[in-house]
């Protein structure tokens, strides 16, 4: 059996994000950043192994709470069913276009904003200016959320919240998983109960009622409960203390999305300009140079 190749795969796995002082969450999309920096497609349907740090020379303390998506059964199945629904809606179009003409970098993506007020943060590159170094936003020719179309032509996309033009993938899956009581009605008296001296009507009722309802909320999957706390990071370089900073350490980020809560402080970049920066390091691995395993698998197509 041949040994696995240890050949180095060149990849820029450290991403700098320019901060935001928006009132909502700041969203860091790792596959988008990796795609722009490395000039190759990194898919959303992955679990990326990452860590988050504050960087720079701050004049005041900066403290940020870090969150990721909760890796729940509802999120996995909701994402899978959304992928299936999107693909099935384009079946006739695929027959008309044929494989050779389908967009080369096409990828299924959902909108990762849990709320409309949240802000997606830009990945930046460090660029030599001759007099110093400055940060420049990474340019993307195209990085779009997946779309589908209703029979009347209404354009819809997929996301973690619901609006007139967005399918909330967890709420949509919740519609598929609602159940009724089983049995729907219970008999509390046993047939010929008077003939069996040891038979109790309460036992007949117990067998039918205790377990007739599911051990979870059958009517609501709580689609807004999508985030999970990872940790708090900070950096402090005030005059009173020596430089202090913390890191999240490596953790798994479903769909490669990280959420930051809190206002970014005044972080001094390599040059003398003030820039708000957070650094995400993606662990090296065998998916195009980074550690990112598949999140959900699409069912095989029927022939």
Nearest in space to 15 (alpha carbons), one of 145, 138, 140: 138
Structural domain boundaries in the chain:
14-177+224-294, 180-213
Paired residues of 26 in beta bridges:
119, 260
| Signed CA dihedral, 253, 29, 132, 64: sign only | negative
| Signed CA dihedral, 66, 120, 141, 138: sign only | negative
Whether the predicted pLDDT of 277 surpasses 80: no
- Residue 108's pLDDT band, with cuts at 50, 70 and 90, is very high
* Least confident residue range of 12-16, 131-135, 153-157: 131-135
pLDDT of residue 50: 97
pLDDT of residue 92: 74
- Residue 272's pLDDT band, with cuts at 50, 70 and 90, is very low
- Residue 5's pLDDT band, with cuts at 50, 70 and 90, is low
- Residue 136's pLDDT band, with cuts at 50, 70 and 90, is confident
Mean pLDDT of 135-157: 87
Regarding pTM above 0.95, the answer is no
Mean pLDDT of 77-101: 83
Strand 123-128 and strand 147-149: the pairing is unpaired
- Residue 57's pLDDT band, with cuts at 50, 70 and 90, is low
pLDDT in tens, 206-217: 777 777 777 766
25 class by beta-carbon count within 10 Å (0-12 exposed, 13-18 middle, 19+ buried): buried
Mean pLDDT of 9-23: 79
């Amino acid at each position: 059996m041949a040994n696995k190749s240890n050949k180095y795969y060149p990849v820029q796995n450290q991403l700098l994000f320019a901060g935001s002082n928006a009132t909502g969450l700041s969203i860091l999309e790792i596959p988008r950043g990796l795609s722009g920096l490395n000039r190759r497609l990194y898919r959303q349907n992955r679990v990326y192994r990452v860590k988050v740090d504050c960087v720079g020379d701050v004049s005041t303390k900066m403290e940020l709470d870090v969150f990721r998506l909760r890796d729940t059964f509802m999120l996995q199945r909701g994402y899978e069913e959304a992928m299936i629904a999107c693909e099935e809606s384009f079946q006739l179009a695929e027959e008309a276009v044929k494989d050779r003409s389908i967009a080369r970098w096409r990828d299924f993506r959902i909108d990762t904003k849990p709320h409309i007020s949240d802000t997606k943060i830009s990945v930046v590159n460090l660029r030599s200016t001759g007099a110093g170094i400055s940060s420049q936003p990474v340019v993307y020719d195209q990085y779009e959320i997946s779309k589908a179309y209703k029979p009347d032509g209404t354009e819809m996309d997929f996301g973690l919240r619901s609006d007139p033009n967005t399918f909330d993938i967890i709420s949509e899956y919740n519609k598929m998983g609602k159940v009724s009581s089983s049995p729907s009605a219970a008999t509390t008296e046993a047939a010929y109960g008077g003939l069996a001296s040891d038979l109790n009507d309460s036992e007949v009722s117990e067998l039918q009622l205790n377990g007739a309802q599911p051990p979870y909320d059958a009517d609501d999957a709580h689609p807004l409960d999508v985030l999970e706390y990872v940790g708090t990071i900070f950096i402090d370089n005030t005059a009173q203390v020596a430089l202090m900073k913390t890191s999240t350490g490596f953790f798994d980020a479903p769909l490669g999305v990280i959420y930051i809560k809190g206002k970014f402080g005044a972080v001094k970049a390599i040059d003398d300009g003030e820039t708000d920066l957070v650094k995400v390091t993606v662990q090296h691995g065998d998916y195009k140079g980074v550690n990112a395993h598949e999140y959900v698998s699409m069912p095989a197509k029927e022939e």
